[in-house]
Amino acid sequence: MEEPVIDGERLVATPGAVTALVGPNGSGKSTLLKGLAKQLTPDDGSVVLDGRDVHSMGTKELARKLGLLSQESMSPESITVEDLVYHGRYPHRGFFETTTEEDVDAVDRAIDLAGCGHLRDREVGSLSGGQKQLAWVAMVLAQDTDVLLLDEPTTFLDLHHQLEVMEIVETLRDESDITVVVVLHDIEQAARLADEMVALKEGAIQARGTPEEVVTEELLADVFEIDAEVDITERGPRVTPIRARHDDDKDASGNTETTPAHASEAE
Mean pLDDT of 124-136: 93
What is the tens place of the pLDDT at every residue in 182-227? Answer: 999 999 999 999 999 999 999 889 999 999 999 999 999 999 999 9
Q: What is the pLDDT of residue 256?
A: 58
| Bridge-based pairing state of the strands 147-151 and 179-183 | parallel
> Is pLDDT above 90 for 135?
yes
For the residues 67-82, what does the mean pLDDT come to? Answer: 89
pLDDT for the residue numbered 131: 93
- What pLDDT, on the 0 to 100 scale, is given for residue 261? 47
Q: What is the pLDDT of residue 10?
A: 75
Poorest-confidence range of 26-35, 90-99, 168-177?
Answer: 90-99
Pairing of strands 52-53, 48-49: antiparallel
pLDDT higher than 80, residue 248: no
Give the per-residue pLDDT at 231: 96
Greatest mean pLDDT range, 8-17, 30-39, 205-214, 240-249: 205-214
DSSP H helical ranges for the chain:
29-36, 59-65, 81-86, 101-114, 129-142, 159-175, 187-193, 211-214, 217-222
Is the model's pLDDT at 1 over the cut of 50? no
Residue 96 is predicted with a pLDDT of 64
Residue 5 pLDDT > 70, yes or no? no
The strands making up 196-201's β-sheet, listed across from edge to edge, are: 66-69, 147-151, 179-183, 18-22, 196-201, 204-209
What percent of the chain has pLDDT above 90?
A: 64
Its sign, for the CA torsion 24, 48, 195, 165, is positive
Q: What is the largest CA-CA distance in the chain?
A: 78
Above pLDDT 70, what percent of the chain? 88
The more confident residue out of 247 and 100 is: 100
Is residue 170 within 8 Å of residue 179, measured between CB atoms?
no
The predicted pLDDT at position 267 comes to 36
Q: Which of 9-13, 94-98, 175-179 has the highest mean pLDDT?
A: 175-179
- Cα(245)–Cα(35) distance, rounded to whole angstroms? 31
Which helix (DSSP H) or strand (DSSP E) does residue 239 occupy? strand 236-244
Residue 42 pLDDT > 60, yes or no? yes
Average confidence (pLDDT) over 85-98: 85
Identify the pLDDT of residue 259.
53
What's the confidence (pLDDT) of residue 263? 40
pTM of this structure: 0.85
